[in-house]
Chains A and B, each alone.
Chain A
Amino acid sequence: MSGPDPLSVLAADAAALRASSRKQRTPPPPPENEPQLYEKRRGVYPQKVQGPFRRFKWLVMFVTLGIYYITPWIRWDRGPYAPDQAVLVDLAHRRFYMFGIEIWPHEFYFVAGMLIMAGIGLFLVTSAVGRAWCGYSCPQTVWTDLFQHVDRLIDGDRNAQIRLANGPWTAEKIAKRAIKWTIYLVISFWTGGAWIMYFADAPTLTRDFWAGDAAPVAYATVAILTATTFTLGGFMREQVCIYMCPWPRIQTAMLDEKSLIVTYKDWRGEPRGSVKKAAKDPGAFGDCIDCNQCVAVCPTGIDIREGPQIGCITCALCIDACDRVMGEIGRPRGLIDYATLDDCKREAAGETPRPAWKTLLRPRTIVYFLAWCGIGLGLLFLLGARTRTDISVAPDRNPPFMLLSDGSVRNAYTIKLRNMESRPRDMAITIDGVRGAMMWTDEMDRADAARSLTLTVPADATQPLRLYVVAPRDTPAQAITFAVRSLDERGERDSGETRFEAPEVNP
């Protein structure tokens, strides 16, 4: 396996797998003088299937949908000055709440770090267990699965669905379509409606939404998400995976011959023949009885026996279907199985397959895992080390200094004191440097000027201050530092250094 890159290896393996099943390939090449402009979507009517992977998909669906719908309704007490919603993206006030963590806009690197972790997590999962994201937890997969269950509920299983789709528009079909699409719409609306709950207090927003008092953007967001869920989940389905989503394309670069994928073991299955034929002519046929169950249950409508392909989201439902058939006819399970291309080769050559831990624990997955952990620990460290008190100082640049009538020099500064705690806090701000300098704010009397001022900064807010500093006659230009200290048990400190400007030569 040295030399060629994983992509070409995959392609070559895929070609080899397909070559064996080319007989079954149906689409004839269009004549050269009749170019095909477009391809009509072929309907996908996946059959109901039972098995461990189907049960796993149910579990993932309940957990992910549960998280999505319920999270905004979890309450979290933060005291009287902060919202009590556990997870809240408060765009209006530029705050992001996640249980005990509150993030300000300037701390957005935490969110960026989490997104990077999510990205590396995808790489990790892909290199270890293939397209598990696509197969189980991608929202497109989850909602498509949900909508396909609705299909089965209203129209019946695969055959009934096909009959109905191909049949004329009778009253029954119209009624069934109307009911089904209404259910689609309700699910879609619920999906869009749940989304906006992350951006405002959920109970209040729900009340406002139905009273017509919510912000226009709330209605627009619900409308757009309802429309996209209805279209993408109800009708586009596998088209999204095959034509729109970049992730399957990236996967072809991410997967290698050591990644777990859903594989049809052609050396075991080919040539295909029915149980009857095999009984007549033992030894002439492989294990595949060509029952097409793997195709019937596939939610993207592909034939896994053609080999790894972009349309396969590795949901493993074909494994459930094939294992059931193999069990019924008394042949060994695993004709379609989670396996790496390497293992397939070994098995085909009669060697013993590598143990599973060797598939999971290899340099690539370990490097991804360490990078993922490193970023995570770094973020946790930063989270623990951050202070909730902050000062920023901007000196007036026009005019840089001001000569007063008694010859003293005044500088003006715009100071921002940040109190990131959800309670008002007293803070002391002190001048460090510039002998004899005194300060006062524009809301104070100059007579009260002092070296140190105490003020209360409101909860979870930035307090802007217009500060005047006056220094005695002939004070030279020099550095000045404003130190802030929170007057509470935390005693947090921060300081901002800037310049105190003065005339170069006092006239």
Chain B
Amino acid sequence: MANDKLASGSRLDEATGTQTVGHEWDGIEELDTPMPRWWLWAFYATIVWGIAYVIAYPAWPMIDRATEGVLGWSSRGQLATEIAEQDKARAATVAALADMPIEKLPDDPALMRAAVAGGRAAFKVNCVQCHGAGAAGSIGYPNLNDDDWLWGGNLKEIEYTIIHGTRQPGGKDTHTSLMPAFGRDQMLTDGQISAVADHVLSLSGRAKPNATGAQIFADNCAACHGADGKGDRQFGAPNLADAIWLYGGSKAQVVQQISNARLGVMPAWGGRLDPVTIKMLAAYVHSLGGGEAFAATAAAPGETAAAQAGAVPQEAGDVRP
């Protein structure tokens, strides 16, 4: 073995007949096995591939942008293509939705499902800021999952609310209602407010009834909220006799609302979103668990629905049958 040793330590390995590389680590040596020629070819092929790639695709960073490559590919362009393909794939559904009056939507379950899916996506972009990701709202922002509606809960009414919004300045069709700030404007005394708050709470069994409060309620509140406190959707007057409280259901919160009367606003989406998206949003909100059927609500809003129906087509496109 010693005779095989060369100056650099490289030697011929007896077992394999291959030269070693000349290094040795604790008695372990490495064979200098020549690689096969095809391996070299594969190596050259990767070089050719690399050059071709640099020519074909964006590769070299320049001062303000990268080289573009002769194929003209870009990730932005690929995204645009994919979005265009998606739009094309959705075109038939969108067209069908545009032609479908929202009252007829429940008769077409497949289209309804498509609308709900589309509405879910649009809701995440446009609505979650106030109503929350689960559409559960918060104090001052209505919960859209429950069965309590300020302005009506069938598809048509929801669509109307989305199109025209609530208390939008200048919008003649927007939902508008006003509650006086009984405390701030000194229309009622603190004692009176406390009494009427107790009366309001008593409507849902949270406080004992009191005659004083009932009288104040009859004088000041019943005009909008109704003698029994069940509200009126025509004025967007909340139902005070149920378990749902837009501004909170504790005594302090009720007193606060009577004193200062906060009034929520919602944009009129008719000018911002296309009619199909609005239809899809209405379908989604309706699907959240509290949506009302047309027949059930036909009696309650009565004239309101009829009045609203006339206003819709102008902004939402012709959705009349």
Chain A positions near chain B (C-beta within 8 angstroms): 11, 14-15, 18-19, 22, 25, 27, 29-30, 32, 35-41, 236, 239, 243, 396-399, 402-407, 410, 412, 442-443, 468, 473, 507
Contact = CB atoms under 8 A, between A and B. Distances in A.
A39 B243 contact: no
A14 B15 contact: yes
B148 A402 contact: no
A11 B34 CA distance: 21
Contacts of B147: 404-405
A402 B289 contact: yes
B104 interface: no
Given A39-B35, A399-B134, 10 more contacts: A11-B15, A15-B14, A38-B36, A41-B36, A404-B148, A404-B243, A410-B145, A410-B289, A412-B145, A507-B250
A264 to B, nearest CB: 15
Interface string B12-23: 101101010000
A236 B38 contact: yes
Contacts, number: 95
Interface size grouping (class) on chain B: 35 or more
B236 interface: no
Given A18-B14, A32-B6, A399-B134, A405 B145 contact: no
Given A398-B134, A406-B242, A29 B289 contact: no
A476 to B, nearest CB: 16
Contacts of A38: 34-37, 39-40
B10 A32 contact: yes
Contacts of B14: 15, 18-19, 22
B145 A402 contact: yes
Contacts of A397: 134
A398 B6 CA distance: 77
26 contacts: A14-B15, A19-B14, A29-B12, A32-B8, A35-B32, A38-B39, A40-B37, A41-B36, A41-B37, A239-B38, A243-B35, A243-B39, A397-B134, A399-B132, A399-B136, A402-B143, A404-B148, A405-B239, A405-B242, A405-B244, A406-B242, A407-B204, A407-B242, A412-B289, A468-B289, A507-B250
Contacts of B135: 399
B244 to A, nearest CB: 5
B34 A36 contact: yes
Contact of A507 (B133, B145, B249): B249
Contacts of B7: 32
B146 interface: yes
Contacts of B244: 403-405
A19 B206 CA distance: 103
Given A32-B6, A398-B133, A405-B239, A25 B15 contact: no
B136 A398 contact: yes
B287 interface: yes
Interface of B: prevailing SS: loop
Nearest to B245: A507
A463 B184 CA distance: 56
A396 B134 contact: yes
Nearest to A470: B289
A22 B16 CA distance: 10
Interface in B129-172: 132-136, 143, 145-148
Interface string B245-261: 10001100000000000
A37 B39 CA distance: 11
Shortest 8 CB-CB contacts between residues of A and residues of B: A398-B134, A399-B136, A405-B242, A407-B243, A39-B34, A15-B15, A405-B148, A36-B34
Nearest to B12: A29
B36 A39 contact: yes
A402 B146 contact: yes
Contact of B17 (A27, A410, A473): A27
A468 B250 CA distance: 28
Contacts of A243: 35-36, 39
B36 A442 contact: no
A174 to B, nearest CB: 23
- Which of B38, B143, B242 has most A Cβ within 10 Å? B38
